[in-house]
Amino acid sequence: MIRLSIRGLAKYMTSSPAGQRKVLRDYKYPDEDEPSAMRRYYKDATDRIRVYHRPGHEPSWLRAKVLELSELARLTPGRAGAKLRHNARALAAYEKHFAGRSLLPLPNLRLRLDIGNVVIGVSPDLHAIERKKAKLLKFDFSVAAPSDDMIKIVSQVMFEAAKGSVADLTSSSIEYVDVTRGNEFRGARAGARTLREIEAACATIENVWASI
């Protein structure tokens, strides 16, 4: 089986041919588990967001955590310090734009979408109830704005992977959250053309995998 993350597939589908080969090489021959490390890059911010939405926390709690991460970053040299600074920035953006959302966290989900011999790992950053409806949120903390194609691909894969695992799932259950700019997107659609494009990309990955 060929295993990719949801963002790995989206990056593959939105890259040039040379970029696509690099994505696949990174997953076939990971250097110090680079794909996994990238998935965990914003773990400090994401973990604190999940805790914040449990009952009993005010926005001031988030602001305090931003200061804690910033201070840790100041005291930490090198890449580890840079990572902490980015997590502090991400958490500050979340506090600015989304602290007022009433999300009740549910247990984390680890899902997968199998297309041919390609297995796409799907882990929503937040699985929660909002206004009595289940939500699966994927956070984007990047400085650069996500492309429309990135949003559609990630949203559609989450939607397809969650079928049968999340009760009363609809396209509005899936949210791609551009935290830095405070934007929310609902890009999944039942029977969407994006799914056919994902299936075609997975078929291509199968065909070229041996030559990577």
Pairing of strands 118-122, 2-5: parallel
pLDDT per residue over 33-70, tens digit each?
A: 555 666 689 999 999 999 999 999 999 999 999 999 99
- Distance (Å, rounded) from C-alpha 79 to C-alpha 85? 10
How many domains, in total, are found in the chain? 1
Q: Is the pLDDT of residue 107 over 70?
A: yes
For the stretch 123-132, pLDDT in tens is 999 999 999 9
pLDDT digits (tens, 9 = 90+) for 16-33: 999 999 999 999 998 755
Residue 4 bridge partners (DSSP): 120
pLDDT at 207 over 90: yes
Query: In this structure, how many other beta carbons lie within 10 angstroms of the beta carbon of residue 104?
Result: 12
- CB-CB contact of 195 with 163 (8 Å): no
**Scanning the structure block, which residue is given the tokens 């929310």?**
184
Judged against a pLDDT cut of 80, whether residue 172 lies above it is answered with yes
Q: Which domain covers residue 157, as residue numbers?
A: 2-209
pLDDT at res. 187:
73
